[in-house]
Amino acid sequence: MSNANHSSFDKATKAGFIIALGIVYGDIGTSPLYTMQSLVENQGGLSQISETFILGSVSLIFWTLTLITSIKYVWIALKADNHHEGGIFSLYTLVRKMSKWLMIPAMIGGATLLSDGALTPAVTVTTAIEGLKAVPGISQIYQNQTNVIITTLLILLTLFSIQRFGTGFIGKLFGPVMMLWFSFLGLSGLLNSMGHLEIFKAINPYYAIRLLFSPENQRGIFILGSIFLATTGAEALYSDLGHVGRGNIYMSWPFVKVCIVLSYCGQGAWVLANKNSGLHLNPFFASIPENLRVYTVILATLAAIIASQALITGSFTLVAEAMRLKIFPLFRVTYPGANLGQLYIPVINWVLFLVTSCTVLYFRNSEHMEAAYGLAITITMLMTTILLNYYLIKEGMHSILAHLIMSFFALIEFIFFWASAVKFLHGGYVVVILALGIVSVMFIWYRGTRIVFKYVKSLNLLDYREQIKALRDDKAIDLYQTNVVYLTNRLQDNMIDKSILYSILDKRPKRAKVYWFVNVKVTDEPYTAKYKVDMMGTDYMVKVELFLGFRMPQTVPRYLRSIVQDLMESGRLPKQEQEYSISPGRKVGDFRFVIIEERVSNARQLNGFERFIMQTKASIKHFTATPSRWFGLQYSEVTVEVVPLILSDILKLPIKEISLPQKMDNN
């Protein structure tokens, strides 16, 4: 990696500042919409609020943002970039060689982040639309919660429907809108705070600690379940590192944090001024003058849409990375934008829409959604802490010091998890069940791959080199294709799947001019595109190891065309003159890709658990992208051959011939 790239990644610019506001802070930037409301409702309403409660609540929010978001994520996690990419799977690729079991926290963290991401659009959009209840003139319409739900679902349908077109155009509006949003948060919060300047005493951590042990706090330690809502976007901040660069996050976070804290101070001041009013309104919207509320709702809705958009695109990226790490089923991926960072996965998009819509219909209002929100993300943060611990050790920090630092954050996050666990019976079970489902799919996919590796037999290609040469030169057999390409996940030195050689020599002898054996390897770097070739002392057998970054599309034909040109130009591969072609002087022949699919037969070697894993994986495959589509072979000649997982299981069975009675010879 060049110093120039490092410099650009760490450099902060005015344009980068605006872009960061639009991409990175959508989730954490909309938390003022519902966090104070959750605190007030869980305390029993405005009539139960005291100055001790408000000062303690704002203090807890401030120090949570400081310890978790500022120190852990901005100061520590942002340094753990994998070639300028962030997020839990990027972090995992940095440390996976240190221990095999680190796959477990990576899977759990990715699954809980996905499940919580499905709830974020529901919470943020619903809360924004509920703000219309405080707008004079139209408040009567939206007092009926059904109208809130219908409006929310229409916005969500529109949002998910436009994903397939890419976000290039609308993305240009995100930065300026979020700049306006954060400026509004800061300014409105500051103006509201002027009536109760004592609210700024909340910066003193004394008030946070006092509230946790105060009898005025009706929720006790469980108040932290609501406090945690203020920092749920911290994980997304780390995941979006590659989109905006570290320097721009360093520059923009202080501005964002000040605006968010001022908003909480302003809401706290309003609550203190109206604690005996008997009102039942969201403090965020109620603290805004009536004549400005409709504009506030519009701005809040835009901010909620941007936050939802960030979670949706983040989910696409997360799933794509998991697919390339071979811990998630393969789904069709398209790239509607001008760069690889804009990807779209139709199945994931509509599953997210279904889950988000069902969440809105099931919980009906934001108060109930908030009861479920945040539980899963505490687990994600704990998993990130585990991986960061190993990263610090890998980077040279003494293991004891690394354990102490990460144990401090793990303790805080475990307390938040414990406080949020009470949400389980109040709706948290929804995201937990969803997360368990995602983890189960990941485990089945990963374990299924390991089972195949365990049972598939391998043979040495060099032992069959002469047979393949004889087949190539045998004019008595029709030419199957000029180039036959076998894609395999298992290519170690010269050892290759027995089923591939069986396909070439036994199943139907396939005469070709060149036999290709291609193995795609996903690298720890995000944008690698390299290859290694071994001709095995021939000009008709080519072993290709294709090294692609975990964010690169695995469109094999595109890369193979370049490799063929390189080999022909270097003289290692003979030119394949074409007698018939619409392209004069064409030097490359036709290609046929052969994909071998292993199926579970009556393989007695498999135990009950392995059979369950393989059969479940086969069922999941009905909903996934085919290998042809995954490897970009839609417009190529493709043959799919199905073979039993365990070839050695096809043996001579113990069966006896029945002897027929012999006829008597009358002669």
Label the pairing between strands 495-497 and 511-523.
unpaired
Give the pLDDT confidence score for residue 256 in this predicted structure.
95
Give the pLDDT confidence score for residue 171 in this predicted structure.
62
pLDDT tens digit sequence for 520-548: 887 767 678 899 999 988 989 999 999 98
Pair 409, 68: CB distance under 8 Å: yes
Give the pLDDT confidence score for residue 92 in this predicted structure.
92
Cα torsion at 220, 222, 225, 230 (round to 10°)? 10
Beta bridge partners of residue 483, listed in sequence order: 514, 591
Cα torsion at 493, 498, 501, 503 (round to 10°)? -140
Give the pLDDT confidence score for residue 663 in this predicted structure.
61
**DSSP characters for 74-135?**
IIIGGG--BTTB-SHHHHHHHHTTT-GGGHHHHHHHHHHHHHHHHHHHHHHHHHHHHGGGGS
Cα–Cα distance list, 274 to 49, 280, 292 (Å):
10, 11, 19
Cα distance between residue 345 and residue 338, in whole Å = 16
> Which of the residues in the chain have pLDDT under 70?
1-9, 166-171, 278-279, 335-342, 371, 524, 526, 550-551, 585, 601-605, 645-654, 662-667
The amino acid that residue 164 corresponds to is R
Beta bridge partners of residue 458, listed in sequence order: 497
Cα–Cα distance list, 93 to 96, 97, 439, 454 (Å):
5, 8, 18, 23
Pair 238, 381: CB distance under 8 Å: no
Cα distance between residue 310 and residue 26, in whole Å = 7
Give the pLDDT confidence score for residue 580 in this predicted structure.
75
Q: Output the pTM of the full model.
A: 0.81
Give the pLDDT confidence score for residue 211 in this predicted structure.
93
In terms of Cβ atoms closer than 10 Å to its own Cβ (0-12, 13-18, 19+), residue 641 is middle
What is the per-residue burial (b if ≥16 Cβ within 10 Å, else e) of 35-69?
bbbbbbbbbeebeebebebbbbbbbbbbbbbbbbb
The DSSP letter of residue 456 is -
In terms of Cβ atoms closer than 10 Å to its own Cβ (0-12, 13-18, 19+), residue 100 is exposed
Cα distance between residue 587 and residue 566, in whole Å = 12
The two structure tokens encoding residue 445: 């996919």
Identify the helix (H) or strand (E) that includes residue 515. Answer: strand 511-523
Return the percentage of the chain with pLDDT > 90, whole number: 31
Cα–Cα distance list, 233 to 113, 153, 240, 596 (Å):
10, 23, 11, 43
The amino acid that residue 204 corresponds to is N
Give the pLDDT confidence score for residue 4 in this predicted structure.
46
Q: What angle, 0 to 180 degrees and rounded to 10, lies between the N-to-C axes of helices 145-161 and 103-130?
A: 130
Give the pLDDT confidence score for residue 645 in this predicted structure.
65
The amino acid that residue 632 corresponds to is G
Give the pLDDT confidence score for residue 183 in this predicted structure.
96
Give the pLDDT confidence score for residue 156 in this predicted structure.
92
Q: What angle do CA 369, 375, 380 make, to 5 degrees?
A: 130
Pair 593, 626: CB distance under 8 Å: no
